[in-house]
Amino acid sequence: MRKVWLAPVCLVGLVALTGCDQGMHAQTARAIDSVGAIDQENMAEMMLAVADPREAVQYFTTASQANPDRVLFRRGLARSLMRAGRADEAVPIWREVVAHPEAVPDDRIELAEAYIRINDWPQAEATLNMVPPTYETYNRYRLEAMVADSRQQWDRADSFYEIASGLTANPAGVLNNWGYSKLTRGDNRGAEQLFAEALRHDPSLFTAKNNLVLARAAQRRYELPLIEMTQTERAELLHTMALAAIRQGDVQTGRALLEDAIATHPQHFESAANALAALR
């Protein structure tokens, strides 16, 4: 009797083991797929963060062709094209990303930025208008401010710049943009204050230093501000101030500033030397 019952028991055990074996294979396959997906995401982030823009474009082009349904790679390709200065090529890719079922509001915001970079302001505005009003981010308000600037809606631009500067831990860039907006409107004192504030957040931002000098020169204040600067930067800022003075008719002041710039620069300052020669 023991032999009669032994075979069925063994058979049941074999079936159970087979079922367990199949379940383990399925779980292992899912785990491998999950790890592979994580590895792909990590690789995509690394390519966007540290890779040369041209290499990143090549990587995401290949990855997108191999995985046409994965929005991760289309998004990476669009961002890489933007980094490479190829916004015109990024626009159609961003459109594909925005149309994807897994698209997020940030995708539409980045499409709007691509439109701005190719100077298509109406499309940028229309794209931002499609972002839910409750989706409030630094980048969204930064772009909203730029669009308002393009339409000369100064109060609206100021409001968006202020909101954007409060939504980031590093507002130097948006404060510089806000200051430049004020400068183009002729509000030189307001621009000067914003450039100075930008430099308090990031003393190394040369664009803000140069704009600060322009704002002061527009008020015929031809002395350099008390800010951190290297010797080369000092020479370049003197050159900027000199050209601003000459454009305003203060030629003698401009000539003196050019001479100071040439004497200050640690190497031959060709552009300043050429400007001085032209005056002579």
Check which CATH number belongs to the domain holding 90 and give it: 1.25.40.10
Q: Is residue 17 part of a domain?
A: no
Residues 239 and 275 in one domain: yes
Residue 173 above 90 pLDDT?
Answer: yes
The last residue of a domain, from among 133, 158, 176: 133
- 178 neighbors 165 (Cβ within 8 angstroms): yes
- Which range is least confidently modeled, 1-15, 33-47, 75-89, 129-143? 1-15
Report yes or no on 83 lying in a domain: yes
Whether residue 118 is contained in a domain is answered as yes
**Pair (208, 274) in one structural domain:** no
Residue with tokens 């981010």: 137
Question: Encoding tokens for residue 135?
Answer: 């989706």
Domain assignment present for residue 179? The answer is yes
Work out the pLDDT band at 23, boundaries 50, 70, 90: low
Indicate whether 31 pLDDT > 80.
no
Instruction: Say if residue 192's pLDDT is above 70.
Output: yes
Q: Is residue 88 part of a domain?
A: yes
My answer on whether 188 and 241 are in the same domain is no
State whether 166 and 235 are in the same domain.
no
First to last CA, the chain: 121
Q: Are both 143 and 217 inside the same structural domain?
A: yes
Q: How far apart, in whole angstroms, are the C-alpha atoms of residue 59 and residue 76?
A: 9
Last residue of a domain, one of 204, 221, 238: 221
Give the percent of the chain with pLDDT over 70: 86
Residue 13 reports pLDDT greater than 60 = no
d(CA 176, CA 170): 11
pLDDT in the model for residue 42: 80
Q: Let me know if 120 is exposed, middle or buried by CB neighbors in 10 A (0-12, 13-18, 19+).
A: middle
Distance between CA atoms of 71 and 100, rounded to whole angstroms?
7
Confirm whether 84 is domain-assigned. yes
pLDDT tens for residues 233-271?
999 999 999 999 999 999 999 999 999 999 999 999 999
What span, in angstroms and rounded, lies between the C-alpha atoms of 184 and 148? 14
Query: What is the 3-state composition of the chain as percent helix, strand, coil, each rounded to the nearest 5?
Result: 80, 0, 20
On average, the pLDDT of the chain sits at: 88
| 267 and 278 co-located in one domain | yes
Range of the domain at 276: 229-280
Do 258 and 239 share a structural domain?
A: yes
Tell me the whole-structure pTM to 2 decimals: 0.80
Flag whether 43 is in a domain.
no
Structural domain count, the chain: 3
Rounded-to-integer distance, Cα 184 and Cα 204, Å: 23
Residues 173 and 148 in one domain: yes
Spell out the alpha helix ranges (H) of 67-119. Answer: 71-83, 87-99, 105-117
101 and 58, same domain (yes or no): yes
Do 140 and 125 have their domain in common? Answer: no
Answer with the one of 115, 133, 151 that is the final residue of a domain: 133
CA-only gyration radius of the chain, Å: 29
pLDDT value at residue 49: 80
* Residues 58, 117 share a domain: yes
Q: What is the pLDDT of residue 148?
A: 97
User: pLDDT class for 1, splitting at 50, 70, 90?
Assistant: very low
Decide if 251 is inside a domain: yes
Residue 28 has pLDDT above 50, yes or no: no
pLDDT, average across residues 55-80: 93
In Å, how far from its chain's centre is CA 100?
Answer: 23
